């Protein structure tokens, strides 16, 4: 199996520097440090930029900041911008409120397989545990079995077994498409496959299903889905749900594309001018 040589971790964020800091600190602590970080910023204010500057000053790996103006929810566009700024042949997308475990990069590297994408897994945290993590800097990856059991029993975590078991790379590839657990908050894709389908589709308006659309189009292009559960878990910090005014309309688009076997984004990677070297920290780059 050919593994990814260079991994680019694209972290999306919007105006939540405390969560972003916790996520990036966990990235600094990875067992496998052979990767770069691109923070794909959907229009955050100066507080986030200052947070990123402080983190970058002591980053043990390259850390870039790609920013775009705040014109509403444009996650698809900022992920495309992050992809264009990346230098890796394998892109792992992570949200700025999803704290990775120490072996997150190592596990994604081990599961990377040509002709496949990896849909990662997440453990949802309660508002109470989220507050403790951000306020008291609770080290989630250092929790013992007793603490994990306590948090699971109290409802502060929605999963436990996935934190205790590491499933080998056996039986993970799905040859038939299914909709379960498609989340771009934890997703590994070969760069060449993203380019083949023109990346995320920026024609989606508002929150919802731009990640499912990408996976559907990749499936139509012949890319199989590989399950990352019991190997790639991240801790998803609680937040209020985004407005979902366009959710049903976006879902209809995905269903139409599933039926038509479409592979191409209407507006995606090819509609951008690739940023030049040194431009990644300038607004709008």
- Over the stretch 214-272, which tens digit does the pLDDT of each residue have? 999 999 999 999 999 999 999 999 987 766 566 778 888 888 888 899 999 999 999 98
What single-letter DSSP state applies at residue 268?
Answer: S
Which of these, 181, 177, 73, 191, lies nearest to 122 by C-alpha position?
Answer: 181
Task: Judge whether 275 lies within some domain.
Answer: no
Q: Is residue 109 part of a domain?
A: yes
- Tell me if 98 is assigned to some domain: yes
First to last CA, the chain: 35
Mean pLDDT of the chain: 90
What is the full DSSP assignment across 171-238?
S-EESS---TT--TTEEEEEHHHHHHTTSS-TT--SSSSHHHHHHHHHHHTTPEEEE-TTTS-EEE--
Extract the tokens encoding 108.
């994604």
User: Mind listing the pLDDT tens digit for each residue in 172-223?
Assistant: 998 887 777 788 899 999 999 999 999 999 988 777 788 899 999 999 999 9
| Number of Cα atoms under 13 Å in the Cβ half of residue 89 | 9
With the C-alpha atoms ordered 164, 160, 119, 84, is the resulting torsion angle positive or negative? negative
> pLDDT at position 165, please?
93
**What is d(CA 171, CA 267) in angstroms, rounded to the nearest whole number?**
35
Q: Are 279 and 212 in contact (CB under 8 A)?
A: no
Could you tell me which residue, 223 or 141, shows the higher pLDDT?
223
Per-residue pLDDT tens over the stretch 101-137: 999 999 999 999 999 999 999 999 999 999 999 998 7
Domain membership of residue 272 (yes or no) is: no
Q: Cβ(249)–Cβ(225) under 8 Å?
A: no
pTM over 0.85, yes/no: yes
C-alpha closest to that of 228 among 152, 166, 175: 166
Tokens standing for residue 210:
């731009």
User: CA nearest 114: which of 5, 34, 31, 220?
Assistant: 5
Structural element, H or E, at residue 91: strand 90-95
- Please report whether residue 283 resides in a domain: no
- Residue predicted with more confidence, 27 or 136: 27
Q: Does 90 reside within a domain?
A: yes
Query: How far apart are alpha carbons 50 and 18 in whole angstroms?
Result: 11
By C-alpha distance, which of 85, 95, 99 is closest to 29? Answer: 99
Q: 38 to each of 91, 165, 237, how far by Cα in Å?
A: 10, 30, 20
Domain extent for 160: 7-262
Residue 270 maps to a domain: no
Number of domains in the chain: 1
Q: Does residue 215 fall inside a structural domain?
A: yes
CATH number at residue 210: 3.90.550.10
């Amino acid at each position: 199996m050919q593994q990814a040589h260079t991994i680019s971790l694209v972290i999306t964020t919007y105006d939540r520097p405390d969560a972003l800091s916790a996520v990036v600190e966990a990235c600094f602590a990875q067992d496998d440090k052979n990767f770069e970080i691109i923070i794909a910023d959907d229009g955050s204010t100066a507080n986030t930029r200052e947070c990123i500057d402080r983190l970058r000053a002591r980053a043990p790996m390259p850390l870039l900041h790609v920013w775009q103006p705040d014109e509403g929810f444009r996650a698809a566009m900022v992920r495309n911008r992050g992809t264009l700024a990346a230098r890796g042949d394998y892109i792992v997308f992570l949200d700025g409120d999803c704290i990775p475990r120490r072996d997150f990069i190592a596990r994604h590297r081990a599961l990377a397989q040509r002709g496949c994408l990896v849909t990662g897994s997440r453990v949802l945290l309660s508002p109470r545990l989220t507050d403790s993590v951000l306020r008291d800097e609770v080290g989630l990856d250092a929790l013992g079995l007793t603490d994990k059991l306590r948090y699971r029993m109290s409802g502060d975590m929605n999963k436990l077994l996935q934190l205790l078991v590491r499933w080998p790379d056996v039986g993970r590839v799905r040859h038939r498409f299914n909709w379960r657990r498609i989340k771009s908050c934890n997703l590994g894709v070969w760069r060449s496959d993203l380019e083949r389908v023109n990346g995320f589709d920026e024609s989606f308006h508002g929150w919802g299903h731009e990640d499912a659309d990408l996976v559907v189009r990749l499936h139509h292009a012949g890319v199989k889905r590989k399950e990352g559960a019991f190997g790639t878990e991240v801790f998803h910090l609680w937040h209020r749900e985004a407005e979902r005014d366009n959710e049903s309309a976006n879902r209809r688009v995905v269903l139409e594309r599933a039926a038509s076997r479409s592979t191409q984004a209407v507006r995606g990677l090819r509609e951008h001018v690739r940023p030049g070297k040194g431009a990644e920290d300038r607004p709008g780059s």
